[in-house]
A and B are shown apart, each in its own frame.
Chain A
Amino acid sequence: MSVATQYYVITLLVLFGVNVVAAWSLNLQHGVAGVWNFGFVVFQAIGAYVTAALTLGPPERLGGFQEYVLAADLPWPLPLLGAALAGGVLALLIGLFALKPKGRDYQALVLLVVSAASLVFVVSQKELFNGSAGLAGVPKPYADELALDVTEYGWFYVLLTASVVALSYLVIRRLTSSPWARRLKAQRDNPDGAAAIGIDVGRERLIVFVVGGALAAVSGGVLVQFIGAYSPEGWEYSMTFLYFTAIIVGGLANNAGVVVGVLLVWTVLQESVRYLPEVAPPTITANLQGIAIGLIILGFLWWRPQGLLPERRVRLGEDGARRKVADGGRQGQGVAHEGAGVNAR
């Protein structure tokens, strides 16, 4: 493979990893818990900014051409942990008021406004993360120590990304296959019914918002350490809808489906545009891509709302529990049934 081809493949792989982690976290929030997080990209952004700040060191190091808070020079993976913390805290602060309205459509709207407003805020507060110019010159982890050439380092970064994806998967798999996820789905399907069996709906939604915010921030951190720069253009609210498209196409509440969705929407669709003949000026091509994504989301919502890989049916009690029921049955059919569930005092 030529250097250019190798680097293209490396870029595709790293971005794929970043987007899979991001989409898993949105899927936890939306697919599993029913939170319409229309401000999703904000949490990826804060992860990217915080990771950049935590690795850039003092601004003077690069000649002081950009300003930012939280300047530090931490070794990988500490900046990612810092990003996760920042994403979680931000999600807590935003969630405390954005998830307050009872209607979920209102929550979505508030989050969309938050997304647009935070962009304006970051642009106007230059001392925060260097305003509209954004942060550049973000160092790559262990690049100096390893002293590899560009493609070799690229493959090393693919490994780093893969390790983050693997770890995220372990966390996401545990969370989504747990009894907690069942209760999240319960309140997703019917919040009043969930409250009526003792689920604190508001609290659980806030928790899943924080967990998802932390993981989204990690995806932003992995992204910024690869591309080396990050600016407000990277987190316009339309990005959120690309992630929504990916999880809807792939299959809500299905971790494997989400991977397929990211592959189709982020990789295949985005990249295929590059190979189209240039029949029109580039700006029109970009707009056509936006239209295509809109049509895809509509098409799936109309004809296949469950996505390519639908949510899996969980058949509880088909393993250990069945055996125990059989044992109980031998002792006397009626005993297990009588008064089941009733806690008469």
Chain B
Amino acid sequence: MRDDVVGPIVEISDVRCHFGGVKAVDGASFALQRGRITGLIGPNGAGKSTLLNSVAGSLRPTGGTIRFEGDDITGRPPHEIARSGLLRTFQRSSEFGHLTVMENLVAAAPGCRGTTVLGALRSKRSWKTDEDAAVVEARALLERFDMWEKAHDYAGELSGGQKRLVELMRALMARPTVLLLDEPFAGVLPSLVRRIERHLMDLRREGLTMMLVEHDLGTIERLSDHVVVMANGRVLAEGMLSELREHRGVIDAYLGG
């Protein structure tokens, strides 16, 4: 089942997130295709972020199932989902402010000795090799994302756009097979937006599957292979953005609010 290289990697079926009477997500179904960037758009309050949160485990859906690589991950806690290779970034940046940029990245390296209390009680020699390997990997990422000179700055002191980059690099350190990006360009300077876009294109070329929640249709057009439009908690339409521009319901949802 897992050896097929095409086909869906994440399947969202009839997911519902109801908060009392409010139906933030109300029966949404779509799939993320392996190696593609799926754009998720829709007016404010359409349920995009709620859906992303329920896929990432931050929010337990009230109904429906979410499968990742064929496994049912519905309602699993976020750290388990992250460890299985489904990573996410946040709409509001979530950097570890009092750690350096380098430490932010190294903290995310999976499988290092010394990250448990018992491992920590052992001598430094027992975990130093793993940590060094993580530092080397982090350095490669920092150079790739032009952030090496910021390596020892506190993440809390960076600009909004740089924090976004830290979050992206940190997610990459955790070895994702799928990355969910929640408005990664919000509050980022236009010059940096183009840079991050290029990085995302590179990552796609390397085979990373991504879901991108975004408002800016230009960005969606440049990055997405496939676009899903949500409104009122449901999937309104999906396809190429060029097709969707002609779609009556999409136009109404955007113009009618």
**CB distance A337 to B144 under 8 Å?**
yes
Nearest Cβ in chain B — how far from A88, in angstroms? 12
**Bound Cα distance from A328 to B139, whole angstroms:** 11
Residues of A near B123 (CB, < 8 A) are: 174
Nearest Cβ in chain B — how far from A210, in angstroms? 9
Of B108, B110, B152, chain A has the most CB atoms within 10 Å of the CB of: B108
> Would you call A140 an interface residue if the criterion is a C-beta within 8 Å of the partner chain's C-beta atoms?
no
Nearest Cβ in chain A — how far from B102, in angstroms? 5
Residues of A near B127 (CB, < 8 A) are: 178-179
Binds B, one of A15-23, A51-59, A191-199, A268-276: A191-199
> Would you call A67 an interface residue if the criterion is a C-beta within 8 Å of the partner chain's C-beta atoms?
no
Within the complex, which residue of A179, A201, A314, A328 is in contact with B114, where a contact is CB–CB below 8 Å?
A: A179
Within the complex, which residue of A190, A325, A337 is in contact with B94, where a contact is CB–CB below 8 Å?
A: A190
Known pairs A196-B87, A196-B171, A342-B176; A317 contacts B138 (CB<8 A)? yes
A168-227: which residues lie under 8 A (CB-CB) from chain B? 171, 174-175, 177-183, 185-186, 188-190, 192-201, 207-208, 211
B144 — nearest CB in chain A belongs to which residue? A337
> Would you call B30 an interface residue if the criterion is a C-beta within 8 Å of the partner chain's C-beta atoms?
no
Contact with B along A313-345 (1 / 0, CB 8 A): 111110011001100100000001111111111
Within the complex, which residue of B88, B117, B137, B139 is in contact with A211, where a contact is CB–CB below 8 Å?
A: B117
> Would you call B103 an interface residue if the criterion is a C-beta within 8 Å of the partner chain's C-beta atoms?
yes
Residues of B near A152 (CB, < 8 A) are: none
A177 — nearest CB in chain B belongs to which residue? B124
Within the complex, which residue of B58, B90, B96, B108 is in contact with A198, where a contact is CB–CB below 8 Å?
A: B108
Within the complex, which residue of A182, A198, A336 is in contact with B99, where a contact is CB–CB below 8 Å?
A: A182
Query: What band does the interface of chain A fall in when counting residues whose beta carbon is under 8 Å from B?
Result: 35 or more
B98 — nearest CB in chain A belongs to which residue? A189
A52-110: which residues lie under 8 A (CB-CB) from chain B? none
**CB distance A183 to B103 under 8 Å?**
no
> Would you call B112 an interface residue if the criterion is a C-beta within 8 Å of the partner chain's C-beta atoms?
yes
Residues of B near A174 (CB, < 8 A) are: 120-124
> Would you call A311 an interface residue if the criterion is a C-beta within 8 Å of the partner chain's C-beta atoms?
yes
Within the complex, which residue of A179, A193, A338 is in contact with B90, where a contact is CB–CB below 8 Å?
A: A193
**CB distance B103 to A182 under 8 Å?**
yes
Known pairs A178-B127, A313-B152; A342 contacts B208 (CB<8 A)? yes
**Bound Cα distance from A91 to B107, whole angstroms:** 26
Within the complex, which residue of A188, A317, A343 is in contact with B176, where a contact is CB–CB below 8 Å?
A: A343
> Would you call B106 an interface residue if the criterion is a C-beta within 8 Å of the partner chain's C-beta atoms?
yes
A319 — nearest CB in chain B belongs to which residue? B132
**Bound Cα distance from A121 to B119, whole angstroms:** 37
Nearest Cβ in chain B — how far from A320, in angstroms? 5
> Would you call B128 an interface residue if the criterion is a C-beta within 8 Å of the partner chain's C-beta atoms?
yes
**Bound Cα distance from A106 to B44, whole angstroms:** 32
**Bound Cα distance from A324 to B135, whole angstroms:** 10
Known pairs A198-B108, A313-B100; A193 contacts B132 (CB<8 A)? no
- Give the 9 A-B CB pairs with smallest separation, nearest first: A344-B207, A193-B94, A341-B172, A178-B120, A180-B120, A321-B135, A317-B135, A197-B108, A189-B96
Besides A325-B139, A336-B140, A340-B144, 11 more A-B contacts (Cβ < 8 Å) are A177-B124, A178-B120, A179-B120, A180-B120, A186-B99, A196-B58, A200-B77, A313-B152, A313-B154, A316-B135, A338-B206
Pick 6 A–B contacts, CB within 8 A, sort by A.
A174-B120, A185-B98, A314-B103, A321-B136, A321-B139, A345-B2
